[in-house]
Structure 1
Amino acid sequence: MILIKKITTVVLFIFANVLLAQDGKVEKGHENFENYSFSPAIDIYKRVAEQGYQSPELYQRMADSYYFKGDLNESAAWYEKLYNSNKNLASEYYFRYAHALKAIGNITEARKIMDEFVRSKPTDNRSVILASNQNYLNKIEKNSNRYNVSLLKQNTLKSDYGAAFYKDKIVFASTRNTGVLSKNIHKWDNESFTELYVASIEKDGQLSNPTKFSKTINSKFHEATPALSPDGKTLYFTRNNYIDKKRKKDNEGLTRLKIYRATLNSANEWGNIIEMPFNSDAYSCAHPALNRTGDKMYFASDMPGTIGASDIFEVDLFLDGTVSTPKNLGREINTEGRETFPYISEDGVLYFSSDGLPGLGGLDVFAAKFKNDSTFSFVENIGSPINSSMDDFNYIININNRLGHFSSNRLGGKGGDDIYTLEELSPLNSINTTNNVIIVKDLDTKEVIANAVVSLKDLENIEVKNSNTSAKGSVAFDKIPLQQYLAKVKKEGYATNEKIVNAFAKEQIIFLEKEIYEASLGDDLGKILKLSPILFDTNKWNIRGDAGFEIAKVVAAMTVHPKLKIAIRSHTDNRGTAQSNMILSEKRAQSTMAFMLSKGISADRLTAKGYGESEPVVACEDLYCNDEALQKNRRSEFIIIE
């Protein structure tokens, strides 16, 4: 959208038209090299790919790694490579690829791939449901067509957005220029910085007589998204980090966003402007919203503890002017994407915008109903025509007449961002719910696993619930709709697992398999990395393409862990003479080391030796051995020696 570029000196805004400066998703590295923690995942396979190795296995590993990491844009690219390299995929890869395509907006191709999933596994419950509901946006469609919307006539060719109720008026942000002494011009797009305007509301929701809101509030930088206390005497608003004619920057030279508070004095003018105590020069806080009683504030921020690019937080406002420590609303609301522009209606519904929850494209507006314990009974996309393929945000509504406004940069507007009127014709549908318990256990030991992340998604891949297992390995999901779900379970050190669960079953077990292993001196790195056999042609020692791909994984692991030293040990079966086998294995060991040296591993980190047939895995001297047993003896080992 237009104002994604409108960033004063420069902060990446969490305006709906804005991205935060931090992406909130930093991949966790290995905490301690001495632990020798290995995982055949992104860090290893990315390096292998950079060396030019390509294979269906590589595509699948990279795609799954990004998919379970939540980077669906990257996963779509790797699933596409996997799809093009092998048209006979396991059905689950069609399912994941289709959802990754949907996430990046390629709906037509997503439907095509999902059809292939249905054909590949017609008895799967997901296939049964999808076959009878070809439109996988069905849930959003059920919530659609509940509004009348129209473009606000008072929009300009500039950007207008971010409306808030103020008594019987509306306050909004705009880059329009209405004065002789214009506001500073942003050099990026030659538009003015945003200022706050106030206008009267007509019976049909249209606005009239817009004027500048306050000369004491508007500065030479951006102001936007106001929120007013119930008595109308306290104003909270978003501004760049600028107060008392001083602008502050973070360590990278960026001017962040802050929330400020102003009070109405006896002369009916706004003054005593101070910043909220949870602000920081190092991160942004923006888009304040107050509850009906004015004792709670909701806002968007990328402060420490944020799950994604920006999350919605909650603070208590006390009568003495102090506030509580910000509380993240949690994974029921916040995702690895952007959650922003919160608004609390007087009947206690939280409306907000997100590009992390499944939607129609860009930022979509969602509704969430609070329960007494500050959790939510539902979180739902409110559907079209409020939401579109573009960015839709800053939803507000008057619960008495069901009229309100929202902002969007959709096609058909007048400027970059425009304000629209809305009339709600009917509420969201009620939900029939049940309670369900999921227990997570270790596949090998059958012991329960605490603090595993369990995500419940419906069969259209829309997340319904997200929580962590208790010390007893269990998580209870209360009041979920009666249907089947895809349960995804993640835990560091384990491979992510997905399983279809049925809400009618009160208790279900999901097993996780260990993925990360602690290596010790003498361990075979090849086994830890789950290498396929290093194969050589008969009586040959040159590195074949398939063998090179496997050895490249060891090279990548040694690159990640620069203190590792490896002893290469090559073995043969007992066919041929002992002397010829010793010579052949020595040549293969030296050839393997030469290959690794050519890939940048220093010579002081490697040794190589052939053992011929002297150390078989399967004893074949006096017994007949089949090809499988002989293959086990024909092996290469990569033993950790330091």
Structure 2
Amino acid sequence: MKNRFILSTLITILSFTVSFSQKDGMSSSAEKKYDNLSYIATTKELIKLVENGNKTPEVYKKLANAYYFNTQMEEASKWYGELFKLDAVVEYEYYYRYAMSLKAIGDYEGANVNMKKFATLKPEDSRAILFSKSPNYLETIEELSSDFELENLDFNSRFSDFGTSFYKDGIIFASSRGEGKLYKWNEQPFLDLYYIADDAGSAEPFSSTLNTKFHESSTSFTQDGNTIYFTRNNYFKGKVRKSGEKVNGLKIFKAELVDGAWSNIVSMPFNNDDYNVAHPALSLDESKLYFASDMPGTNGKSDIYYVDILEDGSYGDPVNMGNTINTEGRENFPYISNNGTLYFSSDGHQGLGGLDIFMTNLEDANQAVTNLGKPINSSRDDFEFIIDEFSNAGYLTSNRYNGKGDDDIYRFTRTFCTQLVSGTTVNKNTNAIIPYASVVVINEKGVEVQNLTSDQNGAFSYEGPCTKQKYNIIASKDTYIQSDQTFVVNPKKKEDVVLKLNLTPETNTAAPIGVDIVQIPELNINPIYFDFDKSYIRPDAEVELWKVIEYMRKYPSVRIDVQSHTDSRASDDYNWALSNRRNVSTKQYIIEKGGISASRLEGRGYGETMLVNRCSNGVKCSEDEHDWNRRSMFIIINR
């Protein structure tokens, strides 16, 4: 068992408990050990019960949970599997836990089966929504994977070592390698803070003042090194406090370095005996303190919060980071890097298994969350990520396979892999150079990633990430028909991408009012098509929509009539509503992605009234034939 898992899973235990009675087949001894979180002792007794024929759902639940909360995922997956073989009615969370334990052993197919069941039972759960939105998440994570070099450090012990912070010329970390009484959860010593000045050196206890007979971990320091925030069990000034449920939880404390010694230890004002507050992280300007908690108002098992640090040294009220970052799973271990990026761990966002490490740009209004991919993440728990963005080096903790002990600390170096994309804009008829043409690059998600202008020699270039992805590139200039191409970045080939963008001179710059754009040669735009009974924009449609966007940017007086249609299946009323949803999504894409004013777009849905082929009601047609009717068309209103 990983001691740090106590700190992140304790919150899960408190928020998801199952009550059992002796009639469920549990001995009073096993029940007491389970309720007291003595999971190693619990598993021993429960295994004996199973061997003696006591194979009730309740026994299997507690046995699987005991292994799960000790991160013994091979055993957890085994006993969750036995539970589901009984075909008993179980809480929906068990499907999620079973999926997570299967991920941890690399059985992604089995995990996805159980995630689908979980999503069916709890469709409103944020984890179910994220899974349903991205069923191909493994491919996405593979594409996000970057070049990192990881090294398991020599100072790791056979116990739990985790939770690094930069301090002076070394690092602070937590470890259960010390002496003292054992913690009943995992039968390892309690955590203390250690300091190591050099990765190759020896670790020493950090402070006899800060280290106690209870857990200390997860530190954050002010830049001058004179103030520390750290996590400790609810133990202060020699007194142990517990919640109303008799649990000794977690709190954040602050101390100051005075004359070379840590003193003036204070408990944060937002701590509470009845909920957990842990894993502090200071913002870059030290005006905010981020942390994890299961306080009232939390979305899931634990959420990331922050408080403002006011000029007088007091603290504002806790603010939840919101449901873009927080899920109904566990979000914890926040870290703010020296370029202001928030890194955190989560088992609620789509990942490879257990806790994965994610990042988000705090200055981004949408706060898009990105998985760091492999090798930073694995099928096990990966967390406590810290990085110096300038040296591109840092540390993370993981209990991945082939480690030295329980949780191990890994040093990493990020080596940026870039791909050079270059090209020339030329006249298609004469091959003459066309200088100062606009060049826009869109990724396969429809996001504009580069906006360039070719130079006086018609040349352009940029360096982008070398992760595998398909791009669309559009070149345009006044009096020329815009040109577009697709290209693929393939990091395995390590070849630069060289493009030649041919622009054709316009022969007719005027467009008659009411003429369908697809009939105007200068645009070469096809209708966009939709999946059956869907209104979302497909990737192939995004390519065409960006042609519309570039055209409207080029001709700012143009207004477009968007006409959307369905096939003949379903009722007339239903198809009318569906075509209007398609119309809205088409226009919304042009407005949001291209920055085109809504006043320049008109249109509505026409249902199944304008079929382009024979596939009317009652006519048997292939899926491809029906596909031609599920479309949006674009009509020029004026220039």
TM-score when normalising by structure 2:
0.49
Q: Which has the higher contact order (CA 8 A, sep 6+)?
A: 1
TM-score when normalising by structure 1:
0.49
